Amino acid sequence: MKFIDRVKIYVQAGTGGNGTVAFRREAHVPKGGPSGGDGGRGGSVIFVATNSLSTLLDLRYYREYKAQNGEKGHAKKMHGADADDLVIRVPVGTCVYDDDTGNIIADLTKDGQRAVIAKGGRGGRGNARFASSRNPAPKICENGEPGEKFNLRVELKLLADVGLVGFPSVGKSTLLSVVSKARPQIADYHFTTIVPNLGVVQVKDGRSFVMADLPGLIEGASQGKGLGHQFLRHIERCRVIVHIIDMSGSEGRDPYEDYVTINKELGEYEYRLLERPQIIVANKMDGDEAEENLKKFKEKLGDQKVFPIIAPIHEGIDAVLYAVADALETAPDFFNQEEEQESVLYTYKEEEKPFTIHNKGNGVWEVTGKKVERLVQMASFTTDDGFQRFALQIRNMGIDDALREAGCEDGDTVRLYDFEFEFYN
């Protein structure tokens, strides 16, 4: 199955059903009164995290997701049916961002966790809801509220306890294959691993953890070179880092310079990766110059412990696994510290002014704003009562006064969303 960890999609929640203007008409029931029912709620777009998925492949091929609209209200005060929510299943570890603003909407880190990404609009009220002592027979109703809509950037960040880092071809995939049942691609060329691989590691004392074999880093990865951010995104939630170094120098590089270069890239990334416990593993100790290189490496490194291994024959592997398991027992949960919030279950809402007035010239004015747009979309102009209610809402919002202050004069044209009228004091 192809591994996809980043997609862009469009989601739109359903619009609420329209309210209805109706009156009770039955034999022997004079003046039955208003009986128009409310519209049903529009369906919401909900993301649900599941451990049964490991990739965002499904989202790549279906880029638009639209929930159903609510049913309109009926006579006899009958409520329209609510629409079903549109449920989208994603892997655990999925982050959802508003692609237009860059703000995070939801972060799903547990199996079964749900997040309302786009909320469905409420149903419009029928005329039975507007009856009062002053107006016992109103001819007023509301249209359904539009559902929320977003351009989304969906990213998968692996939930692994341990991340393997290092230059290409240092033996990360080989180590994962010998300590777990994972079978990553292994070959004698750079960037054999181009997608992350996960494996469950069982230590001989019974402890276990999840290890991720991550694509190889190169210099400049924190700026996006090589696999760049495609790699670094998956290490954000690892609690322990295993830094693997080719101690044989088979690629013609100096092992200590490799170590410094990789740590420099980790330090320049935004998630404080160098603050995590790091286990240094010297691989390929069967090389001709490995012992001499290890001696020089330790002299430059100082007191930090280095674990020499020969991964293909399992030599030194147990000591590394014990060290990793010990580090995990005391390693903090960096994910919670970095995000400084719980895995969110909310829809992001951007605060803005109720409305903005634009002078288009030649006596034309335009009023914009989400609240104004919602007001126009939910207004019903099929009756005089509905139009009068809309005019009162506009006045109560302060739009009339704001237009006068801006210089709007009698006879000027005012546009509100797709509604247009002439202005008079």
Minimum mean pLDDT range among 212-226, 297-311, 334-348: 334-348
Q: What is the reported pLDDT for 332?
A: 81
User: Which position has the higher pLDDT, 404 or 339?
Assistant: 404
**Is the pLDDT reported for residue 222 higher than 90?**
no
Domains assigned to the chain: 6-156 (2.70.210.12), 162-336 (3.40.50.300), 356-422 (3.30.300.350)
**Is the pLDDT reported for residue 73 higher than 70?**
yes
pLDDT-based confidence at 168, cuts 50/70/90? Answer: confident
**Is the pLDDT reported for residue 110 higher than 50?**
yes
Cite the annotated binding site for GTP by residue number.
Answer: 166-173, 191-195, 213-216, 283-286, 310-312
Q: What is the reported pLDDT for 245?
A: 92
**Is the pLDDT reported for residue 107 higher than 60?**
yes
pLDDT-based confidence at 233, cuts 50/70/90? Answer: low
Q: How does pLDDT run across 179-208, given as a tens digit for each residue?
A: 887 665 544 434 444 467 778 898 999 898
Which are the contacts of 275, defined by CB distance < 8 A and separation ≥ 6?
334
User: Which position has the higher pLDDT, 55 or 206?
Assistant: 206
Cite the annotated binding site for Mg(2+) by residue number.
Answer: 173, 193
How distant, in Å, are the alpha carbons of 366, 384, 425 from that of 411?
14, 21, 9
Q: Could you tell me the strand order of the sheet in which 162-165 lies?
A: 197-202, 208-213, 162-165, 240-246, 278-283, 306-308
Question: What pTM does this model have?
Answer: 0.70
Which are the contacts of 120, defined by CB distance < 8 A and separation ≥ 6?
13, 14, 15, 16, 41, 42, 43, 44, 67, 70, 83, 85, 147, 148
Minimum mean pLDDT range among 220-229, 255-264, 309-318, 321-330: 220-229
- pLDDT-above-90 percentage for the chain: 42
Average pLDDT, the chain: 84
Cite the annotated binding site by residue number.
Answer: 166-173, 191-195, 213-216, 283-286, 310-312
**Is the pLDDT reported for residue 231 higher than 60?**
no
**Is the pLDDT reported for residue 153 higher than 80?**
yes
Q: What is the reported pLDDT for 212?
A: 83
